[in-house]
Structure 1
Amino acid sequence: MLDAARAEFERYGIRRTNMDDIARRAGISRSTLYRRFPNKDALVETLVLRDTAAFFAELDRVAADRDPRSAVVECFTRGVRLAQEMPLVARILESEPELILGLTNRTDGAPTVQAAAQVAVTLRRSGVTMSDEDLSAVAEILVRIAVSLMLNPHGQLDISDQEAVRQYAERYLVRLVW
């Protein structure tokens, strides 16, 4: 079911896909799909949570055995690239970026808070010595910058250029951690 949903969402977008399309691709009845997922939002949320877990697991792997400053550089660089490489995320960013903003607004910013908490854990593991309060603030800033760049990629920084992203992180973002 999830693979079928992912394929439909990646091909047609979330808004243009309905539960009938997903059930047909999965080779199951609508009622079977609705027993597992009461609506399309629940299905999207399950996929987003799965992708988010994989995303942060990759960032944890990248940060392993790095000092805080190089963890920021390499995780930021990899995170920007990963968001472009994940087909569902890329599709949403390309054709339905307002869904990301809508999700954040509808949930009182919970995705941003959760992502920042995960970034803070990764940075703490890499050896940051700053207070928990400062670390939480910095992690949230890093998440907000990354999301802003993903939602509006046209600007001074060419996010398709991995070396430019790395230099950006080295010049501006490492200053935030200690």
Structure 2
Amino acid sequence: MPAPRDDAILDAARHVFEQYGARRATVDDVAATAGVSRSTLYRSYPGKEALLAAVVQRETDTFFDELDEVAAGLPPRQALVECFVRGISLLRQVPVLGRLAVTEPAVVTGTPGHPPLLRRHTDRVAATLRRAGAALPDAELEQAAEILVRLASTYLVDPEGSLDLADPAAVGAWADRWLVPLLP
């Protein structure tokens, strides 16, 4: 668990990254917003990249923790639909992820040849589906989870399309039609 000062620094960094994007944000901006000196900030985070990684990790951990709560007690297929609906809604509600998805999509989705976020997010989705009772063999569950993560990433980076992401009922019907078959 981060120390209170680390939470304040990460809150400030999230705000600065939302406001300026990762490229334009500076460590000085974050330190000033957090009300700490640069040296204090550097003791916890050696640079802007480490700070950005910590913000993205914290935001995605919170995102997946909430999806775990949504899935709790639901059968696998219903968990998949409910988590997809809630996940799409959350993606629209987390400004820093939305901003980074537009200005620096590789920060949120990972970069070709360097997919640590993809791997980490796939593992989280697979674990949630397994806890909901998904009976697929591990390798198949991992593949289904990766499809879900890749699909959600595309909606984060480019939300425009035929699916009305602002309509939870439409998102749920879409997930039931197209995603539930991933879990036989």
Runs of 4+ in 1 over 4 A off after TM superposition: none
TM-score (norm. length: structure 1): 0.92
When the two chains are superposed, the root-mean-square deviation of aligned CA atoms in Å is 1.5
1:97 Cα deviation from its structure 2 partner: 2.9
Equivalent residue for 1:10, pick from 18, 26, 34: 18
**How far apart, CA to CA, are the structure 1 residues paired with 2:115 and 2:14?**
24
Structure 1 residues 67 and 79, CA gap change in structure 2 (3 angstroms): same
Asked whether 1:84 is paired with 2:109, we answer no
1:71 Cα deviation from its structure 2 partner: 0.5
Q: Is the 8 A contact 2:79 2:129 kept in 1?
A: yes
Q: Is the 8 A contact 1:74 1:166 kept in 2?
A: yes
**How far apart, CA to CA, are the structure 2 residues paired with 1:84 and 1:50?**
17
TM-score (norm. length: structure 2): 0.89
**How far apart, CA to CA, are the structure 2 residues paired with 1:75 and 1:133?**
21
1:98 Cα deviation from its structure 2 partner: 4.7
Structure 1 SS opposite 2:24: coil
**How far apart, CA to CA, are the structure 2 residues paired with 1:36 and 1:128?**
39
Q: 1:44 maps to what in 2?
A: 52
**How far apart, CA to CA, are the structure 1 residues paired with 2:82 and 2:111?**
26
Counterparts of residues 10-159 of structure 1 (less than 5 Å) = 10-101=18-109, 103-105=110-112, 108-159=114-165
1:37 Cα deviation from its structure 2 partner: 1.0
Deviations 1:21-76 (A, max 9, x none): 11112222212211221110000111111111111110110001111110010001
**How far apart, CA to CA, are the structure 1 residues paired with 2:52 and 2:130?**
31
Aligned residues with identical type, % of pairs: 46
1:160 Cα deviation from its structure 2 partner: 2.1
Equivalent residue for 1:160, pick from 166, 170, 179: 166
Q: 2:176 maps to what in 1?
A: 170
Deviations 1:68-113 (A, max 9, x none): 1100100011011101111211222344335435x3336x211111
**How far apart, CA to CA, are the structure 2 residues paired with 1:169 and 1:66?**
15
**How far apart, CA to CA, are the structure 1 residues paired with 2:59 and 2:65?**
10
Q: Which amino acid is the alignment partner of residue 133 of structure 2?
A: G
Task: Could you tell me which runs of 5 or more consecutive residues in structure 1 were left unpaired when the two chains were aligned.
Answer: none
Q: Which amino acid is the alignment partner of residue 104 of structure 1?
A: T
Structure 1 residues 99 and 53, CA gap change in structure 2 (3 angstroms): closer
Task: Could you tell me which runs of 5 or more consecutive residues in structure 2 were left unpaired when the two chains were aligned.
Answer: 1-8
Q: Is the 8 A contact 1:104 1:112 kept in 2?
A: no
**How far apart, CA to CA, are the structure 2 residues paired with 1:109 and 1:4?**
27
Q: Is the 8 A contact 2:70 2:79 kept in 1?
A: yes
